[in-house]
Copies of this chain bind each other. A is one copy, B any other.
Amino acid sequence: MNWNNLDTISAFAKLSELKGHVNLQEAMSGENGAERVAKYSVPMAGGLTYHYAAKQVDEEILDTLQALADETELTQKYEALYNGAVINTGEKRLVLHQLTRGQLGNAVIADGVDKRAFYVGEQKKAAEFAQKVHAGEITNENGEKFTTVVQIGIGGSDLGPRAMYIALENWAKATGNFKMEARFISNVDPDDAASVLKSIDCAHALFVLVSKSGTTLETLTNESFVKDALKNAGLDPSKHMVAVTSETSPLAKSADYLAAFFMDDYIGGRYSSTSCVGGAILSLAFGPEVFERFLNGAAKADKTAKNSDVRKNPAMLDALIGVYERNVQGYPATAVLPYSQALSRFPAHLQQLDMESNGKSVNRFGEPVKYVTGPVIFGEPGTNGQHSFYQLLHQGTDIVPLQFVGFKKNQTGMDVQIQGTSSQQKLCANVTAQIMAFACGKDDENPNKNFAGGRPSSIIIGDQLTPEALGALLSHFENKVMFQGFVWNLNSFDQEGVQLGKVLAKRVLAHETDGALRAFSDLLEI
C-alpha cells in the first residue's frame, strides 16, 4: 500500500485545477436544480440518504474524486484497518472500533484472543447486568431498584454517550423503551459533580465510571467526589458503582465496583460509543435491545463504506468533497446543523471526533505536511441556529460548508397544527429553505439585503431518528473522518496534542514551575 502525502497525488493536482469549477447558483436554479437533487444522492444505512446536490460538484469533479480515492487506496486502507493492521502508527496500535458492531473482514486475533468475540462478550456482560438491574435482581443495599444511571467520564467517555443518550431519550419514552434516567458528570470543576448529585436521588443511583487507563485525572477526582457523597448519605459506594475500563487498568479487578466491563487500546475514546463505554449506560437507560439496534445501524453503515465507487459510498464521498472544500476551495471550517432537537449535542461529539482525529500537522510518519488538514467543526440544532450564527454563514466574508440533517417524522409523536401545517413541517420547510438560500442566494438592489449564494451544503435525510438511524449517522461520520485522515496521510487515531497541557498542569499543582506559568498560577491562587 502507498502511504503518500496529498501533495504528491496526481489526482489531487488535477482536483486543484478545478478550483471554483461549479457555479452553484446556476447549477441549483430552475429545473437543473431539481434534476441535481434527484441525481446527486446516495442511500445510507438506517434508512438515511446523503444528498449532495447543493455541493460544488459535477461529473468532472466526481470523476476526479474517484481518481483521488483510487490513487490514495482508500478502500484498501479501510480493509487493512478492519483486518487488524497497525493503522495507529504513533501508538503502534490496531484500530478496531468497527469490530464492536460487526465483522467486516477476517477474524482479528490480538493479545491471544479473537477481538470481535471479546467485544461481543463484554457487550453481553453489560446487557445481562442491565437486565438484572431492570428486573430488580441487582439493587441498592435496601433491595430497592435503581432509577438513575450517572456516567462519570470525560472526552470520548462523555461526549459520544451523552449525545447518543439525548438523541434517543424522547424516542425511548415515546416507544416504551425508557428504563432509567441518565445523567453525566465530566468536568473537574467541582460544581459539575455537585450540581448533578444535588439533582438526583443518590440512594437509587448507579454510577458508571469510565476510564480506559483508569488514570484520567478528572474521572478519578469525580469518582472520589461521588464516593464521598454516597458515604455521607450512609451508602456503600461499592454497591452503587460499575467500571468500564481496560483489563490492565487498576480499576479492572477492584472490589470497589459491582461489575467491570472492558474495552482495550484498540478503541480510541472518540470512537468508543459502540463499545461498553456507550453500551453500559445506553443499555441501562434504554435496554440492551435498543443498544443492539443502534449497533446494527452502525454495522450496516460500516459495510456501505467498503464500496470503492465513491458515488455509492456516502462516507467516502462526504470525505472527498470535504477535502475539495478544505484544500482546493480553501474553506477553514464546517458547520454541523441537525434539524432535530434530539441531536443537540451531536455537533459537540462530531467536534471531538473530527478535530481530535485530523487536527494534525505531521503525517503518519511524523513528517510535517505542507497542506491544511482538519477544519474547525461547530454547530447547533436548527431552527435555533437560524436565529443565531446563520447571519455570518449567509453574509459573512468566509464561506463555511454546511452539513444539514433532517427527518420526516419527529420522535414524540406530539405536534400542533398552526396555519395549516405542523411544527415538524415547519422545521423541515426551514431546512430545505436554508439549503436553497445558501446555494442560490438572492440579488437585491439594497446590497445589505443581497445574498451572494454559492455556499455549499449537503443534507442527510431520514424517516425518523431511531436507534438504527443514529447508529448509521455515527458510523457515517466516523468513516468520513477516517477516509479524510487517509487522504491527508495522517494518523487519525492518536492525540499527542493533548499531552503537554496534562504534564504542565501536574507541574503547576506540584509547584514545580517558574516564569509566566507560575505567575498565572499565582493569579488563580493555586
Contacts and interface: CB of A to CB of B under 8 A. Distances in A.
B36 A430 contact: no
Contacts of A391: 355-357, 359-360, 495, 497-498
Contact of A341 (B187, B220, B414): B187
B515 A188 contact: no
Query: Could you tell me the dominant secondary structure of chain A's interface residues?
Result: helix
A514 to B, nearest CB: 7
B514 A34 contact: yes
A360 B447 CA distance: 11
A390 interface: yes
A500 B439 CA distance: 12
A505 B388 contact: no
Given A376-B378, A426-B509, A431 B524 contact: yes
Contacts of A507: 433
A271 to B, nearest CB: 13
Interface in A372-416: 372-378, 380-384, 386-398, 400, 406, 408, 410-412, 414-416
Nearest to A390: B498
Closest 3 CB pairs of A and B: A359-B392, A155-B387, A33-B516
A495 to B, nearest CB: 5
Given A188-B426, A189-B424, A359-B395, 17 more contacts: A155-B384, A156-B387, A159-B388, A187-B382, A189-B342, A218-B426, A221-B416, A224-B416, A269-B387, A359-B391, A375-B398, A419-B509, A421-B526, A430-B501, A432-B505, A432-B508, A437-B504
Contacts of A342: 189, 191
Given A418-B221, A495-B391, A386 B426 contact: no
Contacts of A406: 524
A158 B519 contact: no
Given A397-B369, A406-B524, A459-B520, A384 B432 contact: no
A20 interface: no
Interface string A509-526: 100001111111101111
A517 B432 contact: yes
> Chain A, interface size: which category?
35 or more
19 contacts: A34-B518, A170-B194, A186-B384, A195-B341, A217-B426, A355-B391, A356-B388, A359-B393, A359-B395, A360-B395, A361-B397, A362-B447, A387-B498, A428-B524, A430-B501, A432-B504, A432-B524, A433-B503, A439-B516
A76 interface: no
A258 interface: no
B341 A189 contact: yes
A392 B507 CA distance: 23
A3 interface: no
Interface stretch (A24-32, A140-148, A315-323): A24-32
Interface stretch (A94-102, A238-246, A448-456): A448-456
B516 A53 contact: yes
A351 interface: yes
Contact of A496 (B36, B427, B429, B448): B448
Contacts of A416: 190, 221, 224-225, 228
A368 B397 CA distance: 10
Of A191, A221, A371, A400, the most chain B CB neighbours within 10 A belong to: A191
Contact of A194 (B356, B367, B412): B412
A174 to B, nearest CB: 9
A478 interface: no
Contacts of A90: 448
A168 B360 CA distance: 37
